[in-house]
Amino acid sequence: MSAEEAAEPCYLYILHSVCGDRYYTGISSDPERRLVFHNSRERGFTSRYRPWKLVFMRQYASRLSARKAEITVKSWKSRVMIENFISGTEEL
């Protein structure tokens, strides 16, 4: 990753599976485009739990800071903490 890429704004996003009642956390410069990707072309974990809806999105100043937030959220491994984060009662 170049220094320019690291300094570009990036989003932490959380998707919720409508039918599987699961959460997926990721980062992207365009979360809406990623949502379309997860709901149509991707073959990994997210393909098993379609359809997905975007339930949380927060912009960070750089890809690096968004990645750090993603690692923190994924380390929780707690549905309650993720839901509290989405609702605003849990912070990073």
Domains and CATH numbers, the chain: 3-87 (3.40.1440.10)
Q: What is the pLDDT of residues 12-25, one digit of tens each?
A: 999 999 999 999 99
User: Rounded to the nearest 5 degrees, what angle is found at the Cα of 29, between the Cα atoms of 23 and 33?
Assistant: 65
Please list, in sequence order, all residues whose beta carbon lies within 8 angstroms of the beta carbon of residue 69, skipping any fewer than 6 positions away. 12, 27, 58, 60, 92
Q: What is the pLDDT of residues 4-60, one digit of tens each?
A: 555 789 999 999 999 999 999 999 999 999 999 999 987 888 999 999 999 999 999
User: Rounded to the nearest 5 degrees, what angle is found at the Cα of 36, between the Cα atoms of 30 and 37?
Assistant: 85
Please list, in sequence order, all residues whose beta carbon lies within 8 angstroms of the beta carbon of residue 77, skipping any fewer than 6 positions away. none
pTM of the shown model: 0.90
